[in-house]
Amino acid sequence: MYAGKLDSTVYPLAVQPAEQGTNAVPAETGPSRELEVDHLSVSARIQRPEQGCRALAVALVRHRQAEASRVPRCRQTAFDRLELLDERHWAERTITPVAKVEQRRGVSEETLREFFREMLLIRRFEEKVEERFRAGELPGFLHVAIGQEAVAVGVCRALGDGDVIASTHRAHGHTLAKGTHPNELMAELYGKLEGCSHGYGGSMHLYDIERGNLGANAVVGGGLPAIVGAALAFKFRGQPRVGVAFFGDGATNIGTFHESLNLAQLWTVPAVFVLEDNQWAESTPESQHSPIRDLSKRAEAFGMKAMKVDGQDVEEVHRVAGRAVKHARDGKGPVFLHVETKRLVGHYIGDPQIYRDKEELRELQETSDPIQLLREKLGLSDEEFDSVDREVQELVDASVEFAKNGTDPRPEDALKNVYA
Ligand SMILES: Cc1ncc(C[n+]2csc(CCOP(=O)(O)OP(=O)(O)O)c2C)c(N)n1
Ligand SMILES: [Mg+2]
């Protein structure tokens, strides 16, 4: 985690004290400010330090215990003034990631088996989410990404620990693949304090700053501007880090998509824009929401490098994502990664899909399931499959237990960390 570095003094989009809510960190002056500002080149420095560090301040507070030695002294004092969430949450936060996020070179069979395990973990997790939702245990509105697991795993496995992602309304897979423990994710879906967003967020507002997850987004296209901002900050600081925005084909019709690609290319920021093209936006087929069939052309309009890949083949996704990430990390500018994938279920849990041809869907489920395809590629025997399956199902069952035993947020904390 980069707590010490995410200081508002260095962050190009910092908040002015007058704009901050009651929980906001006071503005600071002093040696750390001068020191940090020196990291920015004069030409790169943005002269508007008055916006946007509020979410970062929250992230910093979250990690103040673990990172105390790396946080400037004046910042620690500011933290001490903050009352946030129940301290017990942090004392107990000892979970290590299940899905690995370290960078890999080449894809050995062993690595492919790890991809398989992670994809199966995501699948079983989402099946359990559906089961618990239907049992009335989970509040809100839930979208699963069954059929799209290879995108989450293939892309996130091409990232390093310092890289960040922003997700969509279909965020469970991205979140697990970026390293959030199933316990923390399930606890969030149950609205518990132990959840990755402390129970404030739910399925469409999953955050895990420590693991480089800048959040899911209920607003379609909401993650792209955040990633352009993060990538711009990486560029200013000279850090070899990359920001990745996931979004769907429907999002390519949204204004923030076009604005983000435009500025990302103009500023040659280290970002990768991952289009998860499942050919549906809710119940609207792509042919009815976009006048062009090849959505990569939208990136070409900005002069952005575009790559295409079959999203049902995790090995391919990983390989091409690795090239895209390298291109961005090498300072050559952003990349548009067009991933063709399949939504093998409804738009949301409970969607009757009356708008979809049942026979076509059944055929897709039989021929395009990325987990089944990888199982075949690996030649896994039934015993091998069952062994991995048992292991991940145990993790998922344990996450439900963890979540059910979690702490309900206190009503008096409802407005804490709310900066609207
Ligand atoms: C700005 C905005 N417009 C509309 C919606 C309603 N909405 C939620 S999901 C969705 C479809 C998005 O389609 P796509 O981007 O292809 O993602 P997918 O659901 O296929 O993963 C829409 C229109 C929204 N949440 N935000
Ligand atoms: Mg879509």
Q: Which atom of ligand 1 is nearest to the CA of 254?
A: 1
The position carrying tokens 């518990």 is 192
Could you tell me the pTM of the whole model?
0.79
Q: Which of 86-95, 275-284, 368-377, 397-406 has the lowest mean pLDDT?
A: 86-95
Closest CA to 25 of 417, 409, 413: 417
Tell me if 376 sits within 8 A of 366, measured CB to CB. no
- Helix, strand and coil percent figures for the chain, each rounded to 5: 45, 10, 45
Q: What integer best gives the mean pLDDT of the chain?
A: 81
Closest CA to 393 of 126, 185, 109: 126
Q: Give the chain's length.
A: 420
User: pLDDT digits over 142-165, tens only?
Assistant: 999 999 999 999 999 999 999 999
Tell me if 317 sits within 8 A of 274, measured CB to CB. no
3-state secondary structure of 291: coil
Q: Residue ranges of the domains in the chain?
A: 53-412
pLDDT for 191: 97
Q: Which atom of ligand 1 is nearest to the CA of 222?
A: 1
Angle at 148 between CA 263 and CA 296, to 5 degrees: 35
CA distances from 171 to 232, 300, 359 (A): 24, 27, 27
Residue 381, both tokens:
């025997």
Residue nearest to atom 8 of ligand 1 (CA): 220
Q: Per DSSP, which regions of 195-260 are E strands?
A: 243-248
Structural fold of domain 53-412: Rossmann fold (3.40.50)
Pocket of ligand 1 (CB under 6 A): 168-170, 218-220, 247-251, 254, 278, 280-282, 347
**DSSP H or E segment with residue 317:** helix 314-329
Q: How confident is the model at residue 418 (pLDDT cuts 50, 70, 90)?
A: confident
Of 141, 169, 217, the one to substitute when testing ligand 1's pocket (max ligand atoms within 8 A of C-beta) is: 169
pLDDT over 50 at 218, yes or no = yes
User: pLDDT digits over 91-122, tens only?
Assistant: 333 334 454 444 444 699 999 999 999 999 99
Q: Tell me the sheet residues that pair with 281.
A: 284
pLDDT for 106: 67
User: pLDDT digits over 392-410, tens only?
Assistant: 999 999 999 999 999 999 9
- The pLDDT of 204-208, averaged and rounded, is 97
For β-strands 305-310 and 335-340, DSSP reports them as: parallel
**DSSP H or E segment with residue 130:** helix 109-134
